[in-house]
Amino acid sequence: MVGKNCFAIASDRRLGVQLQTIATDFQRISKIHDRVFLGLSGLATDAQTLFGPYFCQPVIAGLGDEDKPFICTMDSIGA
């Protein structure tokens, strides 16, 4: 979500399968720079696997020059 000179990324912190919860402190949003963040949606195991990120959809958000917000998303196979 983008607003005037700001942005927001919402995420859950649950790691689990159906009714089984493994952890409640899993990080899905990473700080790349002071003004750029990366959020990974999809399965947590796919996000952590080097050769299997095809089911994740990265969301990149940040503040550009003069605090202009930007947000973009893409799929990993380029469709």
Residue-level length of the chain: 79
Can you give the pLDDT at residue 51? 65
Can you give the pLDDT at residue 44? 72
Can you give the pLDDT at residue 62? 93
Can you give the pLDDT at residue 32? 92
Can you give the pLDDT at residue 40? 82
- Is the pLDDT confidence value at 79 over 70? no
* 19-52: pLDDT as tens digits: 998 888 888 888 999 999 988 877 776 667 766 6
| Three-state helix/strand/coil letters over the chain | CEECCEECCCCCCCEEECCEEEECCCCCEEEEECCEEEEEECCHHHHHCCCCHHHCEEEEEEECHHHCEEEEECCCCCC
What does pTM read for this prediction?
A: 0.74
- Domain map (residue ranges) of the chain: 2-73
Quickly name the fold that domain 2-73 has. Answer: Glutamine Phosphoribosylpyrophosphate, subunit 1, domain 1 (3.60.20)
